[in-house]
Homo-oligomer: A and B are copies of this chain.
Amino acid sequence: MYRVRCVCLLLFICRSLVSSEELPTLRSSPDANYWSQRDRILVEESQMSLGGRLNFEYGEREANDVLMAAKRAAIDLGFRDPSSFLPARNFLSVADEIRRSPTFQMIQAMPKGAALHIHNLGIVSLDFVFGNVTFRDNLYICRPPDGSFRLKFRRSGGSDVTCASSNGWVLLAELRANASIVKDINTRIRDAMTLTVPDTTKAYHDTNAAWTALENAFQTLAPLLTYKPVLEDYVYQGLAELYRDNVLYVEIRGSFHSLYDLDGNAYGPLDVVRLYKNTTDRFIRDHPDFIGARLIFNLRRSGSTRREAMEQYFATFASVQNEFPDFVAGFDLVGQEDKGKPLTWFLEELRTIAPSSRFFLHAGETNWNGLSPDENLIDAILLNATRIGHGFALLKHPRVLELVADREVAIEVNPISNQVLSLVDDMRNHPASFLFARNYPVVVSSDDPGIWGASGLSHDFYEAFVGIMSRSTDIRALKQLAINSIKYSAMPNEEKIRAYAIWKDKWAKFITDLGQRSEALTVT
C-alpha cells in the first residue's frame, strides 16, 4: 500500500509542476526525474479508469488492503505460473476453483447492486432445476427413437402428436425406479440442461457450436419452466439465489411464453408477467431489503423469424407494457446475432414502439467486424438504446464508442458468457479491459449463470476484477460497478435513491467486515 499512497502524493506534486502538454522526454530533459514521470502516467491511468476518481471513504482503505492482497496474490502467482491463472482458462472447467478462491469469497460478500443483463431461463442453478424440478410429480419423459428426449408435466402418459415414439410419454419417476438405467437417464437430463463440461480447457470449437448447446439447453428447460406451478417456485428461487449472492435488484429478459398446467389451462403473456410481478412482490415481503425486479420483453431474432408474426408480437408487447407500465422496463431482441436477423430488419416495428418504450438492445455480441452483428451497434445507438447488451465488438466502431460515452449508454458486459460462447478464449484478451481502463459507462452481469454454473454476479465480477482489469485496479472499481448498476437501471429516480441507500448500508457493513479480516493479508 505504501506504493499506492506514494504514487497518489506524487500525482499532486507533478500535476502542479507540469501540464499534460509539456511532459518532458528523457532526451529533451535528461535530468528530469524519470520515476516521477513514470508514476505520474500510472496515476493518470488509474484516474482514467473505472472507479479511479472515487475517493477512499471511511474504512475502505483497510478493506481494500485485504481484498488487494488476495487479488495480487492470485495474479502474481499466475505471472510466475500461468497454468494457475484461472481467468486464462475456460470458465466451464474452473468455476469451482474460482469459488474456493479468497478473492471470490470477498466479492461474493460484497453488495453488488443490480443484475441488469440476465435471461429468465438461465437464472437458477442446475442444482435446483435438476435436483428439485425434475423430481416433482407428474413429470413425463418422451424418448423418440433418435436418442433424444423431451420432458413435460402431464396428467397421464400415453401417446400424442408431440410424442410419436413407440413408448409415448412415460412417468420419469418410473424410469428412475429402474436401477439399471437411472444413472444414465439422470446424467443425460443433467447434461442437457447445462453447458458445463468439466476437464476441458475449451469446450466448444466455435461460437456456433456453443450457441447450439445453449439453445438445446433452453429447449430442454422451457417445457419444465413454463409449467405454472414450477415457474412460481423458479422465479422465487431465482430471486433468492441472486439475493444470496448479494444482488438487490434484477432486470430479467424473457420472451414470457404461455404457461400450461395439468387442467389444460393456458396462460398468456399478461398472466406470465403477472406471475413474475406477484412472485417478486412476495419475495420482497419476505426480504424487505431486496429492491425488486423488472422485466425486459424479448423477441427472438432468429434467422427464421417471419415478417407476418411481427405485428402480433409487437401488439402483445404493447398490451403488456400498457398493463404493467412500471414492471415492464422495455424491449430487446435476443438470440445469436451472427445467425439472426439484424436490428434493421425490425426497424419499422421498433420505430412504432419507440415513443412509448425503452430499448435494452443486444448488439455486437460477435467477433466479426463490418458485418450485420457488429453493425447492430450503430442501430442500437440510432434507436436510442438505454443500454447495450454485450457490445463485444464495440472497439471496432470508434464513432459508436464516442456516442456511447457522450450519451452514457451503459454497456452490459458479461465476461463468462463471452468466454463460454467462444468469443474470447483468455479473459485477459476481453475487450472490456479498454472500457474499464477508460471508465466507459459499463455494468457487469452474468447472462445465463445457471446454465454454466456461475453464482449470481460474483463469478463475473471475479473475472472482470482479476482477469480483465489491471492488477492495480482496486475496490473502488467494484464500488463503481455497483453504483453504475443502480444508475443505469430502469428504476425510476425515487427507487434509485432508495436502492442506493439500502446498498450503501450494506456496503458500509461489507467494508467493516472486510477490514476486520486482516488475517487475509497473509494469503499467499
Q: Measuring CB to CB, which residues of chain A are less than 8 angstroms from any residue of chain B?
A: 23, 25-28, 30, 34, 37-38, 41-42, 44-45, 48-49, 75, 79, 82-83, 88, 201-202, 205-208, 338, 344, 347, 351, 354-355, 367-371, 375, 378-379, 381-384, 395-400, 403, 423-426, 428-429, 431, 433-434, 437-438, 468-473
A426 to B383, CA, bound (A): 31
Q: Which of A382, A383, A425 has the most CB of B within 10 A?
A: A382
Q: B428 to A424, Cβ gap below 8 A? A: no
Q: B26 to A351, Cβ gap below 8 A? A: yes
> Which one of B201, B208, B371, B438 lies within 8 Å of A398 (CB-CB)?
B438
Instruction: Specify which chain B residues have a CB less than 8 angstroms from the CB of A378 in the assembled complex.
Output: 38, 41-42
Which chain B residue lies CB-closest to A47? B399
Q: A27 to B384, Cβ gap below 8 A? A: yes
**A26 and B396 in contact (CB under 8 A), knowing A79-B371, A369-B471, A370-B473?**
no
> Which one of B42, B48, B88, B437 lies within 8 Å of A367 (CB-CB)?
B88
A379 to B35, CA, bound (A): 10
Instruction: Specify which chain B residues have a CB less than 8 angstroms from the CB of A202 in the assembled complex.
Output: 202
Q: Which secondary structure dominates chain A's binding surface?
A: helix
Instruction: Specify which chain B residues have a CB less than 8 angstroms from the CB of A44 in the assembled complex.
Output: 399
Q: B370 to A472, Cβ gap below 8 A? A: yes
Which chain B residue lies CB-closest to A201? B205
A344 to B88, CA, bound (A): 27
Q: Which of A34, A207, A367, A423 has the most CB of B within 10 A?
A: A367
Instruction: Specify which chain B residues have a CB less than 8 angstroms from the CB of A379 in the assembled complex.
Output: 38
CB distance from A233 to the nearest CB of B (A): 39
Q: A395 to B25, Cβ gap below 8 A? A: no
Instruction: Specify which chain B residues have a CB less than 8 angstroms from the CB of A205 in the assembled complex.
Output: 201
Which chain B residue lies CB-closest to A78? B368
Instruction: Specify which chain B residues have a CB less than 8 angstroms from the CB of A368 in the assembled complex.
Output: 75, 79, 428, 471
**A367 and B426 in contact (CB under 8 A), knowing A82-B206, A384-B27?**
yes
Q: A425 to B428, Cβ gap below 8 A? A: no
Which chain B residue lies CB-closest to A25? B384
CB distance from A431 to the nearest CB of B (A): 8
Q: B88 to A382, Cβ gap below 8 A? A: no
Q: A471 to B428, Cβ gap below 8 A? A: no
Q: B433 to A382, Cβ gap below 8 A? A: no
CB distance from A415 to the nearest CB of B (A): 14
> Which one of B207, B382, B395 lies within 8 Å of A434 (CB-CB)?
B395
**A27 and B369 in contact (CB under 8 A), knowing A79-B338, A378-B41, A433-B395?**
no
A398 to B49, CA, bound (A): 9
- List 6 extra interface pairs beyond A369-B433, A396-B434, A423-B429, CB under 8 A: A27-B384, A30-B355, A82-B206, A83-B206, A369-B469, A398-B437
